[in-house]
Amino acid sequence: MTEGNFVDYVKVHLESGNGGKGSVHLHREKFITKGGPDGGDGGRGGHVIVRGNKNLWTLLGFKFTRTFRAGHGEHGSKNRSSGADGQDVYLEVPLGTVIKDAETLEVLMEITEDQEEKILLEGGMGGRGNWHFRTATNQTPRYAQPGKSGQELDLIMELKVLADVGLVGFPNAGKSTLLSVLTSAQPKIADYEFTTLKPNLGIVEYRDFKSFVIADIPGIIEGAAEGKGLGHYFLRHIERNSTLLFLIPADSKDISKEYEILLDELRRYNPELLDKDRLIAISKTDMLDEELIAEMRIELDKDFKDVPYMFISSVAQIGLVELKDRLWAMLNK
């Protein structure tokens, strides 16, 4: 999937169908001069229904069509015939979609299961025909109910990527390279910042035909939670990851400080993100010799007392097997 096809935020306008009118009709037949009322009911207006689809990975289907209208119910007719219900409209969304009211920003629902269906807007009820209003004192009612009008609503749909592990790091930390080595994903890789403009997902194959999903979240910079850079657009995806893998390059000026900045951005965006399991991977260690790594371990042991860390190199394939073992253990503890 190309970056241009990854859509994780859309606004849509929805309209459910109007209910059909009840019929005002008096039965007329040869030899039956006063057949009485036999007007049928109007049909229900169509619902607007959202449905989860595990085969979808993006909200691309809503990029060009932003208005969805359900069908109107048909009017009732003679012989107590009810009108047909309006056609329902189904909105197929990927798993992990959060639906909000565009005006109040209230979260209305989340879709997390395949084929899960929820009604966003109910269609208007059909009106009852005059057959329902006959009484002993009013045997020929000449009135019926009108159908109820449908509803309108503006919604925001946000996709939060469902992945087991989320890669967190500054631009050029090597996240895309690691993803390309661990999985079959082919993210764009270059030497300039913000190469990755959209989240990339890949499936990591583990031992005994087991696997887990890892997501490369676009680069976060200091101030991302306040809207700087691109990271603030994608922090929502981290909420769905059960484990966070912090990737910090070995040539960073201050590894501990860089980790604290990343941690602080997550804290400002959503403090609950700090409750997730964390693992720090020092990347690009193929540039270091054993003596330098030993010196770095002494400092890192002081700074990272409560968080496990390890040295890896995506290019030189150093520590990747151990990395998968660690992640699998954290996901299945």
**Sequence ranges of the binding site for Mg(2+):** 176, 196
Residue ranges for the known binding site for GTP are: 169-176, 194-198, 216-219, 283-286, 313-315
Strand partners, 107: 100
Six-digit token pair at 190? 């270059």
178-204 burial, b at 16+ Cβ within 10 Å, e below that, comes to: bbbbbbebebeeeeeeebbebbbbbeb
Residue ranges for the known binding site are: 169-176, 194-198, 216-219, 283-286, 313-315
What is the Cβ-side half-sphere exposure of residue 280, based on CA atoms within 13 angstroms?
22
Per-residue DSSP letters for 97-150?
EEEEETTT--EEEEE-STT-EEEEEPPPPPPPPGGGG--SS-SS----PPPPP-
At residue 215, what are phi and psi to the nearest 5 degrees?
Answer: -120, 130
CA distances from 251 to 215, 254, 281, 286, 287 (A): 23, 9, 13, 11, 8
